[in-house]
Amino acid sequence: MCYNGDRMDITIRDIDEDLYRKAKAHAAILDTTIGRVVNLALERLLDEEERSRGRKGFTELLKPVRFGKGTEHSSERVDELVYGGRP
């Protein structure tokens, strides 16, 4: 293993050759690296496992929350209180 900041260069064995080619082609289409594609795939896999265990995944935590009728403009009201009205 070789570390480069918060990243590391590693060797992974037993990767399916056809799957690797598809991922590499996908990376080229996205104009990114195969490492970035693998990182995204691992993040998705781990996020899905968290959700399947009943825990909220990171992307699920970013979804809007509804607090009920009459609270639709709460954010604007908070902004008015904090920042002193509308620009």
pLDDT tens-digit readout, 31-87: 999 999 999 999 988 888 777 777 666 666 777 777 778 877 887 888 888 888 655
Residues with Cβ within 8 Å of 47's Cβ and at least 6 positions away in sequence, in order, are 57, 58, 59, 60
Helix residue ranges per DSSP H, the chain:
17-29, 34-52, 58-61, 74-83
Query: What pTM did the predictor assign?
Result: 0.52
